[in-house]
Structure 1
């Protein structure tokens, strides 16, 4: 059984589906003013700092509006604009409905909301709050760059055959859960007698079984998992699922049932009828091997303390020895307790 290698994990959690907007928000000392300020005072801030693109209007620490540099100078440049606006309170001319989002909002959700705004406000800064208090802002440029970087990083770590996250993202997900003190189960899945299948049917058909398995795992999580569940492809015929302990058995049973029912389409009628594959190994010895099945080892920190991903990998390797001693597709769950 292959297990994922140890890789360095950065301080910033880079899973695109869990990255939050607050991590890239920026705050400036002159970037916010109270609602009782005059327009001329805000204009003065813009004139003093050519890099300042926006000013957030706050009331008791909470953001209530936004003034964009381009917008305010456009107004002042219109006929009578200077005399009309300079002595007005900034609250009278600010954008009263800016996009205001919490620090922990997922970046992908922010991107969707930002790009669905009206054309006139499409490039307005996004205001970020923490516990409803003004925290900082994110420009559309910064948002798009960061989303692009996350997508590139994710694509680099996706298995090219299954499009599932590879070892780095697997390690990040588990490490993130351990740091958060989450209660979770890890399902290690691998195919039995897969090498024999490859030898008998060729790598092309072997790839088809791998793709079928990946789709089956997605289907199982869709039916019985949750939005926070994770599916990874360790490599070859080894996969991993992270879910909640209450769901691990149901997911495992469904995968086994559906795998055994549908994997037969990859075999010849003769092998199905016999119930085994036969051939000669590299030493020329004749063999008969059972049809490809799936084994699942379940490790949970529900009753056992787990401090790192390598500990999970070690337990999984031990469990796999036991589950593979059983004929056909099976699962086994670690029920030891050290709390």
Structure 2
């Protein structure tokens, strides 16, 4: 995977800075928060792959932060390691009951904490819980959400793909392409925060393919807002010349010069009010077909 993102929620600046410096040197992308709700807010903007969470915080305690994470569909999958001065058995059990992945007490061995972090991230990747680039829920978690909603009413499933992503990657390289994937994940979160609810689900099916599960009422608005904002904001990932001419030039597998349009989003939307589903595979297949039709209608 690329650089894993860690969020350290710790109100002691000395400990927070020490952990930030140490894990940055280990090759992680590290962000910090001194207050519990600041940490919750940061997960709304950039999804971390793992959270190191102190229990004694100045606003709400770490237990409450973990509870908020676990009850929010979009953050329930993030591994949490508690870091605390409390070493009572009851405190540890409380943290584990809330869904924490591990519990380490102060003063702690930094090498031991590093192993906890590595193991939690490896388990998450091995079990296809999160996408290594975006940190969003991936394969198994997407399937679990679809199994949960398929017998319900009032939901919609959006299959989202970045059109002309591969030509962009060929011209600009994989680092720029990964930046586009992270931008897209952030955009999905912002639009769902604006128009949807905490119960909405955002996933990364792999590569340039994302999904959203929302309500019947808000899904069409989410679709339109995503498409319009993406088309406008993705242009900052191109150089001036490509933006001005409205396309990129690339060489295909036959070594012939080709032109590809600037990236857009293709979005397929299906729901029980418009389609009949016998299993979750039909949901994804029909949504993919709707997405292909949506992409073909782009001028």
TM over 0.5: yes
Distance in 2 between the 1:106 and 1:288 partners?
47
Q: Is 1:216–2:187 an aligned residue pair?
A: yes
CA shift, 1:307, in A, is: 2.8
Equivalent residue, structure 1, for 2:100: 148
Q: Is 1:194–2:171 an aligned residue pair?
A: no
Which of 197, 208, 223 is the matching residue for 1:237?
Answer: 208
Q: Does the aligned pair in 2 maintain the 1:107–1:147 contact within 8 Å?
A: no
Which of 261, 281, 286 is the matching residue for 1:310?
Answer: 281
Aligned residues: 200
Equivalent residue, structure 2, for 1:204: 175
The CA deviation string for residues 210-246 of structure 1, in whole angstroms up to 9 with x for no partner, is 0000000000110000121000000000000000011
Equivalent residue, structure 2, for 1:281: 252
Which of 148, 164, 170 is the matching residue for 2:142?
Answer: 170
Higher helix proportion, which one? 2
TM-score (norm 2): 0.60
TM-score (norm 1): 0.54
> What SS does the aligned partner of 1:226 have?
coil
Unaligned 5+ segments in structure 1 are 1-104, 110-114, 125-138, 329-339
> What SS does the aligned partner of 1:233 have?
strand
CA shift, 1:146, in A, is: 6.5
Equivalent residue, structure 1, for 2:64: none
CA shift, 1:315, in A, is: 0.6
Q: Does the aligned pair in 1 maintain the 2:162–2:264 contact within 8 Å?
A: yes
Q: Is 1:159–2:131 an aligned residue pair?
A: yes
CA shift, 1:256, in A, is: 1.2
> What SS does the aligned partner of 2:199 have?
coil
> What SS does the aligned partner of 2:205 have?
strand
Distance change in 2, residues 1:262/1:107 (3 Å): closer
Unaligned 5+ segments in structure 2 are 1-66, 72-81, 103-116
